[in-house]
Structure 1
Amino acid sequence: MRMHGSQLRASGDPYFAHPIEVAGILTEYRMDTAAIVSALLHDVIEDTVATRADIAEKFGEEVAGLVEGVTKLSRLELQSEHARQAENLRKFIMAISRDVRVLVVKLADRLHNMRTLHFIKKPEKRERIARETLDIYAPLARSIGMHRICAELEELSFQYLNPTARDAILRRLEVLRVQQGPAVAVVSGEITSRLEAVGVNARVHGRQKQAYSIWRKLQRKSVAFSQLSDIYAFRVIVPEEDDCYRALGVIHRAWPMVPERFKDYISTPKRNNYRSLHTTIVGPRGMRIELQIRTEAMDRVAEEGVAAHWRYKGKSYGFDAQAAGADGGRDPLINLRHLVQLMEHGGDAEEMVEHAKLEMYLDQVFVFTPKGQLISLPNGAMPLDFAYAVHTDVGDTTVGVKINGELRPLRTVLQNGDVVEVIRGPKPTAPPDWRSLTVTGRARSAIRRHIRLSEREEFVRLGRTAIDQVFARAGRDRAGVSLRPALDRFAFANEEELFAQTGRGEISPVQVLETVFPGLKESERAAAVARVRIEDGHVGRLYIQGGGLTPGVSLHFANCCSPLPGDRIVGILQPHGGGLAVHTIDCPRLAEYEDQDDVWRDLHWTPEAERDTVSRARLSATVRNAPGVLGTVCTLIGEAGGNIANLRMHHRQSDFFDVDFDIDVTGAKHLTHIAAALRACPAVETVERVKG
């Protein structure tokens, strides 16, 4: 209070109210004294005259180290928001790897800031903070198992980033609450009585899925709101681990189970130490019900994560496997150690943020080494992801793979329970096409490290072409113009280095243009930054990179799958000089080339593809036949940033009709966002992307 003095927050409250609230959040998790003291002091180094030495003198080295780790990192004068975010993330994760309490205090700090975000007046600042929270802090909370904080951060961010979709989902949840609310109490009672009848003492309670969780599922699973089976879920809390399996048997005998909806996270815990049984049944009154069955200890770990089993041992603060016992004897920080290894591989800022998100977001599949060691990987992982998860050297020397004893292609998607044996060669090899055969950030960053130097020539060519194109759009000619001002501004030794960094996406061609021609007219600048439409292979070459894209080889987009920026893509070399056909990785036509390894070429989009271009895509929707529905749907597409180029109605019936929308979008991610917005609309039954 003395240090912060008369400082005020945006709400008008005294500033010291904020650290007191942050400390209060940590007391709910029963954190240790040093963590709570650090929460009270976490802003004094940055916002007051106090120094680290002052804190060490008054409160000890342990608290000083924690406060220093939590102190907001100064915003570096780098060239892009991505670079600043990446550098902050890099330093932050390194600090977390030394002491997890740095992260726990920071999460509590961010949670209170999000709870009071509405006091910030500038909408763009609110959106930036919410985006950073959703991209970085919520996934970090999930990765160490702190589900309660993660869920609240996601919900608060969603409120500012997509209020229209959130309001639509909340309205539908309110309708469901009126319709199905009474049934929830009946279901809880029936499950409890069934378990009591066989001597299982259980506590059963229902919960409603949160709006952001529903939104993610609408995006990820391409289903309509009405098809979601787990809007209401029930948690069954029992005393012992054996009771979990007894309860499961009772429930499956009483009500039919929905096939392929059972998961045993007790025998194979998630990487953040989450343990529970999941199943979906067709329960009383025909309701599809998702059940989570767990012990009290498992429930505490699920909600509180690392805070549940972290103790002082000796003179250090860390994971106490002995205290965790049978209900969680695995260090949940293994997730973050993967991120630390990823940081050590280096790479540019955008790559690092992208790979960190990959590590934190994806669901899991469990596979085994030939010796029976369990390896957890993201869903959709392939053999190279497995190889790099075992060890970087194993990944670098991989030449083939056996899955369940049979030789399989490296593009095979691994399934739960597979036994994977890596075939290694004598020396490291990392062909460019390997990047399309991985999904984990760890594998991708290791492969990129190998091929970074070999790609330099391609980046120089891409950068030179991009700069020439922007100059031409602005009515200027690079020939005879000195690029010295740009070399001086960005501290490059020569033009080749400038072209290479532009090709990598570190610098935009528009920045080069504005530096060389500082008196640029607004009309010239507008022409230079206008989005380029990707309609043919000639323009596409500027926004696609890869080992298969060499000068002199023509490129065209396959009509069968209509690739968009952001799609995972591969090239197929056509016979008789037909050039390179670009396909999405899930295109059915690729099955024709399964045994022709020599025609496959790795391709991927440049960072500028989604920022600087626009593409045409098609969505097909089934909507209710009612007045005003088509206008509502078109408005939703416009609010999501899509421009409707054409629409066609067909299969018109008295109750429903189908409509195809041709929409200009910035890429696959933008199209997915639009589709999810439509699925949240009550008048829309189904929405699918049409390829070809």
Structure 2
Amino acid sequence: KKEELIERFGAPVATLVDGLSKLEKIEFQSQIEVQAENFRKMLLAMARDVRVILVKLADRLHNMRTLGAMSPEKKRRIARETMEVYVPIAHRLGLNNIYRELQDLSFSHLYPMRYKTLSKAVRAARGNRREVVSKILESVKNTLAAAGIQAQVFGREKTLYGIYRKMRNKHLTFSQVLDVYGFRIVVDSFANCYVALGTLHALYKPMPGKFKDYIAIPKLNGYQSLHTTLIGPYGTPVEFQVRTQDMHRVAESGVAAHWLYKNAEGSLTDLQQRTHAWLQSLLDIQKQTGDSAEFLEHVKVDLFPDSVYVFTPKSKIIALPRGATALDFAYTIHTDIGDQTIAAKINHEQAPLRTELRNGDIVEIITSPTSRPSPNWLTFVRTGKARSAIRHHLRTVNLFESIDLGKRLLSQAMAGLKLDPELPDHLAERLLNESSAKSLDELYADIGVGKRMAALVARHILALVEDASPPLPPPE
């Protein structure tokens, strides 16, 4: 009971447990509805207190570790749900330790034979790699020490699912994926990240186009590191990640690493602000969607990890999912901006609203107070926020138009029967009771979309006036 939890563990813990337990007490017609509604409730609980999802992810990790006794079909169902829902959330919040383990556990239950085959191949390959790994480690440590940089250098293991995904998506062989060596360097200061990078580039030749600065522009989940790929001993590609200890802590634990900590001024950290903005967007999408399945559809789009970074005309950085368009950018700025968009400029040149954005683009949106969303926009927008806002507007506008049309049709039909189109309250109340409509607007909307015939409703009103009403036919 919640009272016992409060007594033993305090009110905050009791609230978290209560929030989690409510997720389990739902009954639905189908498994899809169960997943969609649970997902919606979980994300809305997370939007109010992010610790709810931290506990839920820990619970799911424990469940995935203990699936042994279940039937293969149930294992696959739970693993698929984990891969589609919990893995993207862990990634979005930067919980990389949990993210990697959930991925590998899900992989092992979804594709047990592929998992075993890859696992055996990786164990065999490790022995062959030791000489190269040792040579690179020693060389890098000595070079950094000679440059006066205090650093920890680690070999970085690829996860089995990461290997499998790269083989499948890039059509590579096992040896091609494993022939890329990975290392992580943790230094003592922000400035030394860049000094260490220069030292590495002097040691080994960099591969063109393989450098990324996630320190200057962090990923959406707060991840910061310098990434570079170099040509190492024997001509083998070597990937390096360079970061500080604080960056490493966030890279491994994400939002959990410092959610409860504030910076020196007492304000939220940059990661907390971005997470707050994402959680707020969940609430915005929830307000604009009709049901749980639609909510799930919109939010899943925004959980994909690949991002593109663009600029406003005032040089503010905006992060969007890869494939996002100029119109998605408009809705990211504000729903009203998106709704009133008439044109876009990308890098100071006119561009169609459907134009996909690329890293570094400067995007300017042109609006008009009379502009309204078009149904065609749904064919190219990418973000959940844009899709839900457009659908919400179209539903609202269509409803108003249906009400207006239905009211005019009924007025015409009533005029033909010499009836006053303005119904007295007592007649309106009887009409609603006998028609099963919740309001006159609902009745008008039904007429407007053809669910009810205006002539039949008018004749029923005439019968009410004459106090001899036959049953009103239900909507078709």
The alignment's TM-score, normalised by the length of structure 1, stands at: 0.55
Mapped partners of 2:345, 2:179: distance in 1: 37
The Cα of 1:56 is off from its aligned counterpart by 2.5
Q: Which residue of 2 aligns with 1:254?
A: 203
The 8 Å contact of residues 281 and 289 in structure 1, kept in 2 or not, is answered as yes
Q: Secondary structure at the match of 1:180?
A: helix
The 8 Å contact of residues 368 and 418 in structure 1, kept in 2 or not, is answered as yes
The 8 Å contact of residues 259 and 272 in structure 2, kept in 1 or not, is answered as no
Does residue 96 (structure 1) correspond to residue 43 (structure 2)? The answer is: no
Residues matched between the structures, number: 403
The 8 Å contact of residues 347 and 445 in structure 1, kept in 2 or not, is answered as no
Once the two structures are superposed, the pairs formed by residues 218-233 of structure 1 within 5 Å of their partners are 218-228=167-177, 231-233=180-182
Q: CA RMSD in A?
A: 2.8
Q: Which residue of 2 aligns with 1:74?
A: 24
* 1:195 alignment partner AA: L
Compare the two structures and name the one with the higher helix fraction: 2
Once the two structures are superposed, the pairs formed by residues 470-619 of structure 1 within 5 Å of their partners are none
The Cα of 1:158 is off from its aligned counterpart by 0.8
Q: Secondary structure at the match of 1:208?
A: coil
Q: Which residue of 1 aligns with 2:275?
A: 333
Structure 1 residues 324 and 267, CA gap change in structure 2 (3 angstroms): farther
* 1:417 alignment partner AA: G
* 1:294 alignment partner AA: R
Once the two structures are superposed, the pairs formed by residues 399-418 of structure 1 within 5 Å of their partners are 399-418=342-361
Once the two structures are superposed, the pairs formed by residues 156-555 of structure 1 within 5 Å of their partners are 156-228=105-177, 231-311=180-260, 319-322=261-264, 330-334=272-276, 335-452=278-395
Structure 1 residues 231 and 108, CA gap change in structure 2 (3 angstroms): farther
The alignment's TM-score, normalised by the length of structure 2, stands at: 0.78
The C-alpha deviation readout for 1:244-268, integer Å capped at 9, x for no partner, is 0011111122222222221111111
The C-alpha deviation readout for 1:70-102, integer Å capped at 9, x for no partner, is 225235332322221111111111111221211
Aligned partner of 2:36 among 83, 86, 89: 86
Q: Secondary structure at the match of 1:107?
A: helix
Q: Which residue of 1 aligns with 2:82?
A: 133
Q: Secondary structure at the match of 1:361?
A: coil
Compare the two structures and name the one with the higher strand fraction: 1
Structure 1 residues 325 and 426, CA gap change in structure 2 (3 angstroms): closer
The Cα of 1:223 is off from its aligned counterpart by 4.4
Structure 2 unpaired stretches of 5+: 400-441, 450-476
The Cα of 1:431 is off from its aligned counterpart by 1.8
Mapped partners of 2:245, 2:6: distance in 1: 39
The Cα of 1:295 is off from its aligned counterpart by 0.5
Q: Secondary structure at the match of 1:260?
A: coil
The C-alpha deviation readout for 1:13-68, integer Å capped at 9, x for no partner, is xxxxxxxxxxxxxxxxxxxxxxxxxxxxxxxxxxxxxx223322443322221110
Q: Which residue of 1 aligns with 2:2?
A: 52
The Cα of 1:340 is off from its aligned counterpart by 2.6
The Cα of 1:226 is off from its aligned counterpart by 4.5
Structure 1 residues 254 and 423, CA gap change in structure 2 (3 angstroms): same
The 8 Å contact of residues 322 and 329 in structure 1, kept in 2 or not, is answered as no
* 2:311 alignment partner AA: F
Structure 1 residues 229 and 160, CA gap change in structure 2 (3 angstroms): closer
Mapped partners of 2:296, 2:167: distance in 1: 24
Q: Which residue of 1 aligns with 2:57?
A: 107
Q: Secondary structure at the match of 1:159?
A: helix
* 1:119 alignment partner AA: A
The Cα of 1:199 is off from its aligned counterpart by 1.1
The Cα of 1:291 is off from its aligned counterpart by 0.8
Structure 1 residues 322 and 94, CA gap change in structure 2 (3 angstroms): farther
Mapped partners of 1:216, 1:338: distance in 2: 30
Mapped partners of 1:213, 1:327: distance in 2: 30
The 8 Å contact of residues 88 and 305 in structure 2, kept in 1 or not, is answered as no
The 8 Å contact of residues 388 and 395 in structure 1, kept in 2 or not, is answered as yes
The 8 Å contact of residues 91 and 221 in structure 2, kept in 1 or not, is answered as yes
Structure 1 residues 324 and 222, CA gap change in structure 2 (3 angstroms): farther
The Cα of 1:425 is off from its aligned counterpart by 2.1
Mapped partners of 1:352, 1:336: distance in 2: 14
Mapped partners of 2:353, 2:395: distance in 1: 22
The C-alpha deviation readout for 1:554-609, integer Å capped at 9, x for no partner, is xxxxxxxxxxxxxxxxxxxxxxxxxxxxxxxxxxxxxxxxxxxxxxxxxxxxxxxx
Mapped partners of 2:327, 2:26: distance in 1: 35
Mapped partners of 1:227, 1:139: distance in 2: 27
Q: Secondary structure at the match of 2:243?
A: strand
The 8 Å contact of residues 40 and 292 in structure 2, kept in 1 or not, is answered as no
Structure 1 residues 60 and 196, CA gap change in structure 2 (3 angstroms): closer
Q: Secondary structure at the match of 2:39?
A: helix
Does residue 150 (structure 1) correspond to residue 150 (structure 2)? The answer is: no
Structure 1 residues 214 and 441, CA gap change in structure 2 (3 angstroms): farther
The Cα of 1:280 is off from its aligned counterpart by 1.0
The 8 Å contact of residues 230 and 290 in structure 1, kept in 2 or not, is answered as no
Mapped partners of 2:343, 2:211: distance in 1: 32
Mapped partners of 2:129, 2:45: distance in 1: 47
The C-alpha deviation readout for 1:407-447, integer Å capped at 9, x for no partner, is 01222221111110011122352222212322222212222
The 8 Å contact of residues 107 and 141 in structure 1, kept in 2 or not, is answered as yes
Percent identity for Structure 1 against Structure 2: 45
* 1:198 alignment partner AA: A
The Cα of 1:165 is off from its aligned counterpart by 2.7
Structure 1 residues 428 and 346, CA gap change in structure 2 (3 angstroms): farther
The Cα of 1:369 is off from its aligned counterpart by 0.5
Mapped partners of 2:178, 2:312: distance in 1: 35
Q: Secondary structure at the match of 1:119?
A: coil
Mapped partners of 1:218, 1:67: distance in 2: 41
The Cα of 1:227 is off from its aligned counterpart by 4.2
Structure 1 residues 452 and 172, CA gap change in structure 2 (3 angstroms): farther
Structure 1 residues 75 and 68, CA gap change in structure 2 (3 angstroms): closer
Structure 1 residues 176 and 370, CA gap change in structure 2 (3 angstroms): same
Structure 1 residues 222 and 332, CA gap change in structure 2 (3 angstroms): farther
Structure 1 residues 325 and 445, CA gap change in structure 2 (3 angstroms): closer
The Cα of 1:202 is off from its aligned counterpart by 1.4
Mapped partners of 2:237, 2:195: distance in 1: 21
The C-alpha deviation readout for 1:298-332, integer Å capped at 9, x for no partner, is 10111111222133xxxxxxx52339999966535
The 8 Å contact of residues 145 and 332 in structure 1, kept in 2 or not, is answered as no
Mapped partners of 2:245, 2:179: distance in 1: 22
